[in-house]
């Protein structure tokens, strides 16, 4: 009976099948839950193991203070205090030791290294010589003496109306009478004696006439071909240039310079000789010895702070900040007046005496007072000469009695 009912009862069979169906749906759900529980257990074990490793590390590390943070024997307040101390020290270390040094590196700090380099031989510098007086009295028409003074002077006060009217009316005629190159002192008249290395005789052909802010000057050792530059191997007057010059003081007239003597500039070949701003003075009646030391400075380009640039110049072969500023001044005057001063370089038309007196002096004054900004970056290479001048009275009484008196030359004429 029991066997029959299990086999032939359709209701029972259907119920059994339903139970099997339900069980087949429940089984997968129970398996997923078990898997999640297992993963959670594994995660808890890993976290527990990490905490144990961290505690183990903190108790054995040489980093002071970390063991007190994780110590189970310390109170919460004590552990918190140690955490603040250690964190503060770590932040300070990261900022000072790492961030600060990285920022300092990115700023590219520069150390200046100065070294004395003794060479076997070197280029002798160019020497530009100017007479303090710009115009020879014997070459100036007496009617033009006052006009020549106004041209040479940096005084910005206008002359009286009568003079201005005369200059305006006779503008072309006066301009033709003023020949700056012939009316100034000539090197053949000033150069009495010239020796190179105390043996070789140098002549006026070794000098180049140059127009400077001082006027007409003469430069020694500044050839067009730089391979012909004179070189020296030893220091001292016997291994350099020796000259005896006459300033022709009997030819002096009233001008912007009230002294007597020579204005000299020692500079690199190819540089614009800014005698007025960079030169030194030598007095007559003295034997002067000029010693020099060459200093070569090399600056770095961007992104370094020196930010040097190789900028070409119109009036000089080599760039310098001073020459760039002078070019800026010349361009400013030319823009204001439409012409250039007779002492300025360039191919622009030279100003007439009337234009010079009424415009150039005022433009120069405006350039200074307006504090005109010129784009003159630092030179990447600068060749400078440190000058030391020592003088002694000349001639001595012995030389006067032995050489000059028999020749009929008095001490005042020497």
Enter the tokens of residue 358: 């009424």
- What is the distance between the alpha carbons of residues 176 and 174, in angstroms, rounded to a whole number? 5
Of residues 274 and 114, more confidence is placed in: 274
Beta-carbon contacts of 113 under 8 Å, excluding residues fewer than 6 positions away, are none
Q: What are phi and psi of 413, to 5 degrees?
A: -85, -15
Residue owning tokens 């032995």: 402
Q: What angle do CA 36, 39, 45 make, to 5 degrees?
A: 140
Distance from C-alpha of 267 to C-alpha of 90, rounded to nearest angstrom: 57
381 found inside a domain: yes
Is 370 contained in some domain? Answer: yes
Q: What pLDDT shows up at residue 27?
A: 46
> 3-state class of 290 per DSSP?
strand
Torsion of CA 148, 149, 153, 155, to 10 degrees: -120
Distance between CA atoms of residues 189 and 203, nearest Å: 12
Looking at mean pLDDT, say which of 47-56, 270-279, 307-316 comes out highest.
270-279
C-alpha–C-alpha distance, residues 156 and 377, integer Å: 31
Total domain count, the chain: 1
Any idea what the CATH number is for the domain that residue 149 is in? 2.60.470.10
Phi, psi of 263 (to 5 degrees): -110, 125
Task: State the chain's mean pLDDT as an integer.
Answer: 81
Q: Higher-confidence residue: 159 or 215?
A: 215
Measured distance CA(283)–CA(255) in Å, rounded: 18
Q: What pLDDT does residue 138 have?
A: 93
Higher-confidence position of 230 and 173: 230
More confident residue, 57 or 195: 195
For 146, the token pair is 């006052």
Tell whether the model's pLDDT for residue 228 goes beyond 80: yes
pLDDT mean over 275-288 = 93
Instruction: Look up the domain containing 401 and give its range.
Output: 122-407
Whole-angstrom Cα distance, residue 88 to residue 92? 6
Distance CA 111, CA 268 (A): 27
The answer to the question of residue 29 being in a domain is no
Quick count: other Cβ atoms within 10 Å of Cβ 338?
A: 12
Considering the domain boundaries, does residue 258 fall inside one? yes
Return the beta strands (E) in 205-329 as ranges. 207-212, 215-220, 231-232, 241-245, 262-267, 280-282, 286-298
Dist. CA 304–CA 114, nearest whole Å: 18
Residue 14 counted as domain residue: no
What is residue 34's predicted lDDT score, i.e. its pLDDT?
55
Is 7 inside any structural domain?
Answer: no
Mean pLDDT, rounded, for 375-393? 91
Question: What single string gives the DSSP state of each residue in 187-236?
Answer: HHHHEEEEEETTTEEP-GGGEEEEEETTEEEEEES--SSGGG--EESS-S
Q: Residue 211's pLDDT band (boundaries 50, 70, 90)?
A: very high
368: DSSP letter? H
Cis? peptide before 251, omega within 30° of 0: no
- CB within 8 A of 247, min separation 6: which ones? 131, 132, 133, 185, 190, 260, 261, 262, 284
CB 385 within 8 A of CB 295: yes
Closest CA to 326 of 286, 287, 276, 397: 276
Contact 126, 221 (CB under 8 A): yes
3-state secondary structure of 392: strand
Angstrom distance (rounded) from CA 364 to CA 171:
22
Say if 24 falls within a structural domain.
Answer: no
pLDDT tens per residue, range 243-262 = 999 999 999 998 888 889 99
Q: Is residue 281 part of a domain?
A: yes
| Of residues 117, 61, 91, 86, the one with CA closest to residue 294 | 117
């Amino acid at each position: 009976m029991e066997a029959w009912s299990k086999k032939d009862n359709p209701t029972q069979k259907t119920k059994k099948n339903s139970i099997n169906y339900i069980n087949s749906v429940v089984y997968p759900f129970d398996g997923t839950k078990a898997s999640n529980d297992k993963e959670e257990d594994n995660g808890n074990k890993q976290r527990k193991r990490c905490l144990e490793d961290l505690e183990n590390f903190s108790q054995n590390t040489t980093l002071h203070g970390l063991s007190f943070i994780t110590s189970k024997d310390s109170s919460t307040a004590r552990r918190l205090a140690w955490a603040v101390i250690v964190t503060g020290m770590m932040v300070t270390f990261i900022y000072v030791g790492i961030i600060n040094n990285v920022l300092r590196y990115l700023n590219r700090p520069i150390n200046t290294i100065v070294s004395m380099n003794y060479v076997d031989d070197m280029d002798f510098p160019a020497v530009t010589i100017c007479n303090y007086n710009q115009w020879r009295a014997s070459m100036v028409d007496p009617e033009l003496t006052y006009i020549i003074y106004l041209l040479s002077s940096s005084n910005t006060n206008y002359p009286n109306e009568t003079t201005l009217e005369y200059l305006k009316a006779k503008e072309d005629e006066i301009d033709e009478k003023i020949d700056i190159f012939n009316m100034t002192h000539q090197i053949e008249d000033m150069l009495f004696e010239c020796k190179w290395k105390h043996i070789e005789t140098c002549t006026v052909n070794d000098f180049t006439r140059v127009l400077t802010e001082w006027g007409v000057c003469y430069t020694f050792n500044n050839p067009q071909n730089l391979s012909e530059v004179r070189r020296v191997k030893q220091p001292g007057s016997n291994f350099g240039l020796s000259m005896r010059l006459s300033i022709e003081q009997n030819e002096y007239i009233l001008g912007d310079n009230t002294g007597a003597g020579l204005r000299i500039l020692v500079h690199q070949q190819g540089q614009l000789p800014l005698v007025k701003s960079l030169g030194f003075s030598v007095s007559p009646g003295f034997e002067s010895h000029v010693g020099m030391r060459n200093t070569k400075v090399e600056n770095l380009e961007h992104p370094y702070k020196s930010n040097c640039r190789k900028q070409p110049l119109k009036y000089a072969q080599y760039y310098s900040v001073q020459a760039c500023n002078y070019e800026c001044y010349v361009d400013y005057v030319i823009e204001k007046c439409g012409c250039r001063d007779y002492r300025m370089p360039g191919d622009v038309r030279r100003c007439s005496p009337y234009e010079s007196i009424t415009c150039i002096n005022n433009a120069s004054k405006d350039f200074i007072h307006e504090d005109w900004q010129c784009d003159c970056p630092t030179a990447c290479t600068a060749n400078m000469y440190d000058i030391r001048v020592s003088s002694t009275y000349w001639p001595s009484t012995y030389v006067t009695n032995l050489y000059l008196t028999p020749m009929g030359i008095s001490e005042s004429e020497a």
